[in-house]
Amino acid sequence: MTVIAMYRFDDSAIFVSDFRTTLRDGTQYDVMLKFIDYDKRLGLFLSGDVGFWKSVLPKIEKRLSEITLRNIDDPDGPFREELKFGAYTGLGRSRARALGFIIEGKDNRMFQVDLIPGGAALWGDIPPNSGVVIGSGGHLYRIQARIENAVRHTVKDIGMDYYSIADSVRREITDSMRDAGTGSYGKLGISPYMCLSSLVGGHFMIRGEEVKGTHYDTDGPPRKFRYQFIRNTDDTLVLRDLSEGVEHKVYNFNTSDNVENYEIFDPEGKTLPAFDITETLSERDHVFLFHQWVTYHEEDDIYNVYRSVKKIEFVEVPGRGRIQKSSTPIIFHRDFDPSIGERYLDCRDVYIELNPGKEQGFEKEIDESLLFNDSWLADHIVNYYSTFLG
């Protein structure tokens, strides 16, 4: 599976696409560019069954000279005719989708298609000022609304900087993956690194870039990362981890049969093994997460205690296991003098167990006014005092 996100303005758009492919035996690797173009005129971001697309695309390529901006959406035109035939003859395949565009001069037309094996080839326009997500990334909670909101805020703050807009969408997807919980990249089949593209009038661009920064982990020292997505002098695309000295060649759908490096590309360490609450509580469909963060401000001799609580539901993704869907956290913080503040333990995230018969009341009543009500919390949460107060 995959994630491909798009936001369309008027005659321009940004795209975010990942690199992961999952083989039938479960092997995953991150070197597949999910985009293919013909004559720098017809472009398709592809998701779903690779074999399905490989059976359809050669027929489209043979009729490329017939396909124009004016007939691209004609149900009886060459493009949609080949899509319909491919869907009808695709028995035994899995669903395949695409976000696409066609360019003529300074004009373009954007669209989406959905191939149902043995059935229809669905066609849809993409309305201006809206986002679309296809692939397994569409299972992320409220992902379309989140990316649309990210675009609006970025345009308001920065203006029409297409790289910054696309990067804000990528960060929103990354945040959504984090919220989905440990193992979400593997479960959904999405690569940790996603590339950015833009379409403006008659010009389309896949963005090369270098990314560097520092990852901070509560359980270890800071870890620096630096990596690139670039085109080599021999015209090959590569993902290059500069910190580790590792380079991965990037393939497209036409060359995927020749893949040599079945590797995960994760220079930021987003997919490192970690505790998975959805597996531990396999009999439950949700859990509550209590967060307590304590800081001491020496100049004021004050302890600042930050608390939040949120409900995390476990959502089943067909054939992919369970991921997390988090509610908006209830947040509150208070300042205490040392005689009181030093009693609060800096324990950060804690999955809490509720006392028998108290869950319904806890979920119904909890609000900011109760986040520091020790007696009420102790009545509802198992081992409240020993967990959060020393």
Backbone angles phi, psi at 365, to 5 degrees: -100, -25
Query: CB count, 10 Å around CB of 83?
Result: 23
**Is 92 or 388 the better-scoring residue by pLDDT?**
388
Is the separation of the CB atoms in 164 and 158 below 8 Å? Answer: yes
pLDDT above 90: residue 216: no
Least confident of 187-191, 264-268, 271-275: 271-275
Tokens coding 56: 């359809």
Is the separation of the CB atoms in 243 and 225 below 8 Å? Answer: yes
pLDDT at res. 114: 97
Stated as kind and residue range, the H or E segment containing 154 is helix 143-158
Stated as kind and residue range, the H or E segment containing 152 is helix 143-158
> pLDDT tens across 89-144, in order?
998 899 999 999 999 999 999 999 999 999 999 999 999 999 999 999 999 999 99
What residue spans define the domains of the chain?
3-206, 277-388
pLDDT above 90: residue 262: no
Which one, of 93, 86, 82, 176, lies nearest residue 131 by Cα? 176
pLDDT at res. 219: 65
**Is 226 or 252 the better-scoring residue by pLDDT?**
226
Helices first, then strands: H and E counts in the chain: 10, 21
> pLDDT tens across 12-41, in order?
999 999 999 988 888 899 999 999 999 999
pLDDT at res. 319: 87
Stated as kind and residue range, the H or E segment containing 81 is helix 78-88
pLDDT at res. 184: 96
The CATH label, of 3.40.190.10, 3.60.20.10, 1.20.1600.10, 3.30.470.20, for the domain at 3-206 is 3.60.20.10
User: Which residues are CB-contacts of 50 (< 8 A; sequence separation ≥ 6)?
Assistant: 21, 253, 256
CA distances from 365 to 288, 333, 376 (A): 14, 18, 10
**What confidence tier does 6 reach under pLDDT thresholds 50, 70, 90?**
very high
Distance CA 192, CA 61 (A): 31
**Is 75 or 259 the better-scoring residue by pLDDT?**
75
Q: What is the full DSSP assignment across 170-185? A: HHHHHHHHHHH-TTHH
> pLDDT tens across 340-375, in order?
999 999 999 999 999 999 999 999 999 999 999 999
Calculate ∠ Cα 115-47-70, nearest 5°: 60
Is the separation of the CB atoms in 203 and 13 below 8 Å? Answer: no
β-bridge partners, 228: 210, 240
Mean pLDDT along residues 326-337: 96
Sheet bearing 237-241, strands edge to edge: 209-215, 223-231, 237-241, 246-249
The fraction of the chain above a pLDDT of 90, given in percent, is 88
Distance CA 379, CA 383 (A): 10
pLDDT at res. 261: 80
36-65 in b/e form (b: 16+ CB < 10 A) is beeeebbbbbbbbbbebbeebbeebeeeee
Write down the mean pLDDT value for the chain: 95
pLDDT at res. 20: 95
Is the separation of the CB atoms in 140 and 116 below 8 Å? Answer: no
pLDDT at res. 1: 62
**What confidence tier does 82 reach under pLDDT thresholds 50, 70, 90?**
very high
Give the distance from CA 87 to its chain's centroid: 28
